[in-house]
Amino acid sequence: MSNDVVQAVAHYVEETMGSEGFRYVSAVVANCKMLAVQLETQEDHPVSLDTDALVIAAYFHDISTVAHGFLDHHMKSAELAAEFLQDCNVPEECIAKVQQAILTHITILPQEDRGELTEGQVLYDADKLGRLSGLAVVTSLIEFGTRYLNQVVTREMLAALLRHIEERFIELYQSLYTAPAREMAREKFHHTLAFLDGVIEHLSDATPV
């Protein structure tokens, strides 16, 4: 794969998503690269990945959200990726891998159904790593406040919301496919859980705030 194609993809995605969206996408791309290196060089069971397809999929995985929102965004993003890559004369085999990675990056498979590691599963891990931090807690609270602008928030209600966020964090962490992703997430994940536990304990009194 020509490096020019990857650069063209990055430029197109930045133009389409804007600086803020591209900043998040770039973090996912960086996570993909780090995970790929660790997976391909691990001693016990090295994994062979198409890193070019993985990186391109990471750039494109959320591109449709700008115009269409998050509903079925994986399907529309896969379509947009294929259209762009075809215009760049990228081989169909690579395009198919990119599309498959985007289409499956939202899928959580039970442990017993997981076979050979795929680019889509690595993209899933890379995408979720950014959602296992304290910043994700703040984002969730902002979303709640935006949705319920006129809602009077009590300590009890806030504690319940934080418990829900904590449960979601645990589910996300447990859903990660790769050991390197769990290792990368572990420290900030445990710090975030400790923070949530402390706040929930503090909010145990249901006095209005």
Three-class DSSP labels, the chain: CCHHHHHHHHHHHHHHHHHHHHHHHHHHHHHHHHHHHHHHHCCCCCCCCCHHHHHHHHHHCCCCHHHHCCCCHHHHHHHHHHHHHHHCCCCHHHHHHHHHHHHHCCCCCCHHHCCCCCHHHHHHHHHHHCCCCHHHHHHHHHHHHHHCCCCCCEHHHHHHHHHHHHHHHHHHHHHCCCHHHHHHHHHHHHHHHHHHHHHHHHCCCCCEC
The range of the structural domain enclosing residue 99 comes to 1-112
pLDDT band, residue 1 (cuts 50/70/90):
low
118 inside domain? no
Any domain includes 99: yes
Pair (20, 52) in one structural domain: yes
Say if residue 96 is in the same domain as residue 138. Answer: no
> Is 107 contained in some domain?
yes
Question: How many domains does one find in the chain?
Answer: 2
Residue 90 lies in a domain: yes
In a domain, 123, yes or no: no
The predicted model gives 104-118 an average pLDDT of 87
Query: Domain ends where: 112, 138, 171?
Result: 112
Residues 106 and 135 in one domain: no
Task: Band the pLDDT of 209: cuts 50, 70, 90.
Answer: very low
pTM of the predicted protein model? 0.83
